[in-house]
Amino acid sequence: MSTSVSPNPLRAGLQISKVPKPVVMVIFGASGDLAQRKLIPALYDLARERYLPAQFTVVGVGRSPMGDDEFRTKMYEGVTKHAREFIPGLWESFAKGLFYLSGDINTSEFYDQMREFLATIDQKRGTLGNRVYYLSIPPSTFPILLENMGTHDLVGTAENVRIIVEKPFGRDLGTAQTLNGIVRRVFAEDQIYRIDHYLGKETVQNILVFRFANAIFEPLWDRKYVDHVEITVAETVGLEGRGKYYEESGALRDMLQNHLMQVLTMVCMEPPAGLGANSVRDEKVKVLRSMEIMTEAQVRANTVRAQYSAGFMAGKPVPGYPEEQGVREGSITPTYAAVKFHIDNWRWSGVPFYLRTGKRLTKRVSEVSLHFRQPPTHLFSRYTGGPSPDVLALRIQPDEGITLRFDTKVPGPDMAMRPVNMDFRYSDTFAKKSPEAYERLLLDCLQGDQTLFARADEVEYAWKVVTPILDAWSTGTKEDLATYPAGSWGPVAAERLLGEQGHQWRRL
Amino acid sequence: MSLDTQAVVALREPKMVPLNQVDHELNRIWATQTDGSATRASTFNLVVWSGNSGGLAEVIGAIAVQYPCRTLVIQEDADAAEMITAEVTAYCPLGSGGQRASVCCEYVTLHTRPNTLGEVSAAILALLIPDLPTYLWWHGGMPLSNPLFQDLRGIAEFVILDSATDPTFCTFSLLDRLAQKTIVGDLAWGRIREWRELTAKAFDDNKRRMDLGQISRVELEYVAGDTTQAWFFIGWLASCLNWQNPQIQPEGAVFQGPSGAVETVWQSVSNDRQPGNLVSIKINFGSEKDLLIRSGLIADCAQVELDEGGQCTFEQTEVLQDLTLAQLLAQELQHVNQTDPLYQAALGLLLSLIKD
């Protein structure tokens, strides 16, 4: 879908140099929250910025009976609330490209109906048979959906048909392999876009630029200079009515296996041969393949699982996890996970990587910090303050930016020193607001760029690393879980995990 | 683009100081900001020639909120107490809800007597933050033979002008030469960016793209008072499509396109928008087939329609907003490497059009 017969001579040198081909995006699960809050607002913003072709069309598919007008009204509410900027004059034109098809994806007839419907849309809108299918439905429904798409000739090739799969990509290594098998029986890998919205964030992409477009950092980016690395993705929210879902997933599946592992691979990968999708993904996979697979004893030593208890968020009391709606009695689902990983390769051998994520923590913040080794001599150790380790922090959200902490002399006759921060903030430097993660990812898919989407082997290797922890954590009683009060930075056990090596979590 | 002219709040009332006290005074201002709510940051120097017109603080505030910088404004002042006096402050733009933005702009106004202009560039040079790029924005008439401009452009990596302030052959010719030597941003060219994008988008469709070779006539409507944007648009279209042998006609020009003569005409209309802004573009493909892009029917939008034999076969609404001065400037501040080659091509064509 990305190439055209001959380039448009009027596009040369313009800010938007490439626009996707006319296409229908079919969203399965369109009556759900994701379409209204994220997908359609992101598409509207792309249309507003002129990134979409005039004929761009959305067909929402759902079980709930709904007409086009009702669907448009529902999406209008989503767009007015969640789009970055709303221009009323544009809505009417955008809404003309929104359609709704209700039906039961479990029946074969539905797919005949859908094929006919899409053919009519092609006629009406000039979309030339180009499709992107967005699976915003539970993975349990994938087999029947995909099988029917295959048998009803809805698959096409990478040039004209693509499929976006929302996480979770499985529950463990076994289910991920099964899921990948199901999808790949019908679609080729170059048609499959496994979306992890974390990779759509500017700051995550900037890790590559920061590392490989600046010569001064990369020479320091290894075991010789880096003492340890911390990756934190902290949430303040609780379950937000998703108790039933969360009970089945927990912190490892919900955040660590995907978001944190994606960030980890970007931080640790070798320079890719190019910026093509497979060059980048090959390097990410190499990192995952080099990660230590823990034994049961290592899981006990290197991980901390915990659940939040009642506490206070922004001065208001909040219930503990066991009291949340949808949570099973005696649940051992972790809402917090801290893990120490090792990457056994030339660059990182011996450097501990501490990953932590949790709900109901003090602050909503995501950050990667590289903690550098102390200078080899102790020139200043006897002076006030003494040297503190230098830290390079990449802030992913909020307040996206980069901070370098280093020591400096305090003015005065004494040789006193103190750490100072050198700070770069995105918001202070760039006029252009960052697009929402979904905008970037949807546009990439429409243009046929898979770089920011997870490949099958990448997903499976990430599961391979995490599955032993999941297995170990699937057993036990409540006594095996640490607890932490809502509004705190997590359990004491997580501090001990780092403390054993003389490290401590960075105060965020 | 969401950048608008913003209200600004001064961290402190502007204070007149001797030239050699400017840095000291700025440091004093920042030393008072102990609560961390205002951050001192700079990504470039912006030197502004404002002539004898004031009132640029809001525009510069809008720039500063997005691009923290040190702004050095040169203002001609016949009543200045000394040859050059400096007025120092720092502005923080007001965000939504009246909150002060955290990053503020250092703002130094140099009041200069008319007969001391030659000494200003030396003063500016001493006030630049070292090792940061320097933009020169010449606000007002075209300065190309002005000695101060010649001095200042020597210390700036980027020069921002507005050719619409003096749209003559002489101006474009000098601009063309200037663009060979330095990086030039022309606000008049920036004003047609949205129209160029809309026009390009209309030909993204493979079938319609084939029609590009069939163009026989282009009609532009613009707001009366300035033809620069219309000229630039025609210059851009003609250079992109490789039209040859331009011949000027009253209110138009004829080119040689791949399928024969291409007639272009520009007509002024009266309305209350900014003089010179484009209003509509009609492209005819040699038969009863026209592509029409017109603004003003729906707020902040343009309508794109394809008419074939009296029937509308395609219509689309796209966002189109007149850019404010701050937005235009912000657009130019994003150019860091070179003068836009499309601008240079359009300028070359425009020169051949209006040389007579």
d(C-alpha B122, C-alpha B112), whole Å: 13
Is the pLDDT score of A220 beyond 90?
A: yes
Is the pLDDT score of B58 beyond 80?
A: no
Structure tokens at A206: 């900037």
Query: A222-231, A273-282, A413-422, B19-28: which range is least confident on average?
Result: A413-422
The mean predicted confidence, pLDDT, of chain B is 85
| pLDDT for position B39 | 62
DSSP-H helix ranges across A405-451? 426-429, 437-446
In the numeric block, the tokens 């969640």 are attached to: A82
Query: A56 to chain B nearest CA, in Å?
Result: 11
- Per-residue confidence at B4, pLDDT binned at 50, 70, 90? very low
| pLDDT for position B133 | 87
Main-chain dihedrals φ then ψ at residue A112, nearest 5 degrees: -65, -45
State yes or no: cis peptide before A168, omega within 30 of 0. yes
Q: In this complex, how many residue pairs, one in chain A and one in chain B, have their CB atoms less than 8 Å apart? A: 91
CA angle A368, A369, A370 (to 5 degrees): 130
Is the pLDDT score of B53 beyond 80?
A: no
B38 at the A interface (CB within 8 A)?
A: no
Query: B333 to chain A nearest CA, in Å?
Result: 9
Burial of B30 (0-12, 13-18, 19+ CB in 10 A): middle
Q: Which residues of A touch B319 (CB under 8 A)?
A: 48-50, 87, 89-90
Provide mean pLDDT across the span B97-107.
62
Query: B9 to chain A nearest CA, in Å?
Result: 17
A42-61: buried (b, 16+ CB within 10 Å) or exposed (e) per residue?
bbbbbbbbbbbbbbbbbbbb
Query: A62-71, A400-409, A411-420: which range is least confident on average?
Result: A411-420
- Inter-chain touch B300–A89, beta carbons under 8 Å: yes
The mean predicted confidence, pLDDT, of chain A is 91
d(C-alpha B1, C-alpha B197), whole Å: 14
Q: Which residues of A touch B66 (CB under 8 A)?
A: 430-431
Of B43, B314, B342, the CB nearest to A429: B43
Query: A87 to chain B nearest CA, in Å?
Result: 7
d(C-alpha B72, C-alpha B128), whole Å: 8
Distances (CA, A) of B44 to A123, A210, A359, B200, B285: 52, 21, 41, 33, 47
Please report which helix (H) or strand (E) contains residue A311, including its range.
strand A311-313
Residues 115-174 of B with CB under 8 A from A: none
Higher pLDDT, A27 or A411: A27
| pLDDT for position B2 | 43
Of A19, A48, A428, the CB nearest to B204: A19
Main-chain dihedrals φ then ψ at residue B333, nearest 5 degrees: -70, -10
Q: Is A82 annotated as catalytic?
A: no
Q: Is the pTM of this model over 0.80?
A: yes
Of B212, B299, B330, the CB nearest to A431: B330
Residues of A with CB under 8 A from a CB of B: 4-6, 8-16, 19, 22, 48-50, 53-55, 85, 87-90, 92-93, 126, 425, 428-431, 433
A241-258: buried (b, 16+ CB within 10 Å) or exposed (e) per residue?
eebeebbebbbbbbbbbb
Query: A161-165, A282-286, A498-502: which range is least confident on average?
Result: A498-502
| pLDDT for position B1 | 39
Is the pLDDT score of A377 beyond 80?
A: no
- Per-residue confidence at A3, pLDDT binned at 50, 70, 90? very low
In the numeric block, the tokens 């890998």 are attached to: A189
